[in-house]
Structure 1
Amino acid sequence: MSDQTEYNEETKALNWRKFVRKNLLIHLVPNTILNTVVPYFAFKAQNSVHLFSGEQNLARFLLPMSLLLPFMITLDILKKIKELQHTGAINYNEELKITGYPFILKKAGLNGLYSIMIVFALMLALHFSFPKNHDFGITPSAVCAGLLAGLYSLTFFYLAIRKFKADTV
């Protein structure tokens, strides 16, 4: 009987590692690539990229991304963890079981809200520290948007799983 229990624990730990690896790549790679390529081609249609002014400004890409990416990543990961918990495929502490969507939506909403507030504050600080009508450049702006998307993918993936990760190691 203990061999079966040990096998189940190993299987659950392996399932957790597969889950983390697979979902991290699913979020990291497409978010980084898409959020680099889309702004690049949008910025390519104009001569310069400004932070808040102009038809295609940097804030137009960064602020919605700063709200939606953390929200969607947290929502997706917590929904998947909830499904795995209810099927018994991973180890978890009974006290940390996700019981419903209000918890998931609250966590995702707070992550999105906090990230947009931080990015907006940093953008305002940049706006006031650079000279008026400063051009940020097409390629650096697109690369920064992509790197920020990759950072969001890593950060909010980790924040969504951090409570559950300690139980499976």
Structure 2
Amino acid sequence: MSDKVEYDEQARVSNWRKFVRKNLLIHLIPNTVLNTVVPYFAFKAQNSVHLFSGEQNLARFLLPMSLLLPFMITLDILKKIKELQHSGAINYKVDEKITGYPFILKKAGLNGLYSILVVFALMLALHFSFPKNHDFGITPSAVCAGLLAGLYSITFFYLAIRRFRIDAV
């Protein structure tokens, strides 16, 4: 009987590891590629890339991405964890505060709000530290947008599962 219980516990830990690997790749690869390619072709249609000025500026891509990407990643991961919690596929302690949608939406909203505030503050600091009408370049700007999307994918994925990862292993 104890072998069965031990096997179930190992299976749940294995399910948790598969969940983490699969969902991290699902978020990391498309976000990085799309958020590099789309700005690159949008910037290529113009001569220069500025932070806040111009038709296709860097803020036009980074600020919406900084709000929506953390929000959507957190929302998606917490919803998937909630489904796994109810099916019993992963092993962690049940806490009633984390099962409801108000908690999920609050956590996702706060992650999106904090990330856009930090990125906006950094962009303002860059704007005031560089000379007026400084050109950031097409390729470096697109690569930075893609790297930021990859960083968001990893960071907010692990922030969403931080509470559960400790209990699962």
* TM-score, reference length from structure 2: 0.98
Q: Return structure 1 stretches of 4+ with deviation > 4 angstroms.
A: none
**Aligned residue in 2 for 1:52:** 52
Does the CA-based 8 Å contact 1:96-1:163 persist in structure 2? no
* 1:26-57 deviation digits (Å, cap 9, x = unpaired): 00000000000000000000000000000000
**Aligned residue in 2 for 1:120:** 120
* 1:31-88 deviation digits (Å, cap 9, x = unpaired): 0000000000000000000000000000000000000000000000000000000000
Larger mean CA deviation between 33-42 and 90-99 belongs to: 90-99
Separation in structure 2 between the aligned mates of residue 137 and residue 152 of structure 1, nearest angstrom: 22
In structure 2, runs of 5+ residues without a counterpart are none
Separation in structure 1 between the aligned mates of residue 40 and residue 94 of structure 2, nearest angstrom: 46
Percent of residue pairs bearing the same amino acid type? 87
Give the aligned residue type for 2:119. Answer: V
Does the CA-based 8 Å contact 1:85-1:97 persist in structure 2? no
Separation in structure 2 between the aligned mates of residue 124 and residue 18 of structure 1, nearest angstrom: 40
Tell me the CA shift for residue 168 of structure 1: 1.9
- Do the aligned partners of residues 96 and 24 (structure 1) sit closer, same or farther apart at CA in structure 2, a change above 3 Å counting? farther
Tell me the CA shift for residue 96 of structure 1: 6.5
* 1:126-163 deviation digits (Å, cap 9, x = unpaired): 00000000000000000000000000000000000010
**Aligned residue in 1 for 2:152:** 152
- Do the aligned partners of residues 44 and 140 (structure 1) sit closer, same or farther apart at CA in structure 2, a change above 3 Å counting? same
Does the CA-based 8 Å contact 2:28-2:154 persist in structure 1? yes
Tell me the CA shift for residue 94 of structure 1: 2.0
Task: Give the 3-state SS of the residue equivalent to 2:167 in structure 1.
Answer: coil
Tell me the CA shift for residue 95 of structure 1: 2.7
Separation in structure 1 between the aligned mates of residue 96 and residue 48 of structure 2, nearest angstrom: 49
In structure 1, runs of 5+ residues without a counterpart are none
Where does 1:37-48 land on structure 2 (aligned, <5 Å)?
Answer: 37-48=37-48
Does the CA-based 8 Å contact 1:50-1:136 persist in structure 2? yes
**Aligned residue in 1 for 2:80:** 80
**Aligned residue in 1 for 2:133:** 133
**Aligned residue in 1 for 2:11:** 11
Separation in structure 2 between the aligned mates of residue 134 and residue 96 of structure 1, nearest angstrom: 52
**Aligned residue in 2 for 1:100:** 100
Aligned residues: 169
* TM-score, reference length from structure 1: 0.98
Give the aligned residue type for 2:73. Answer: I
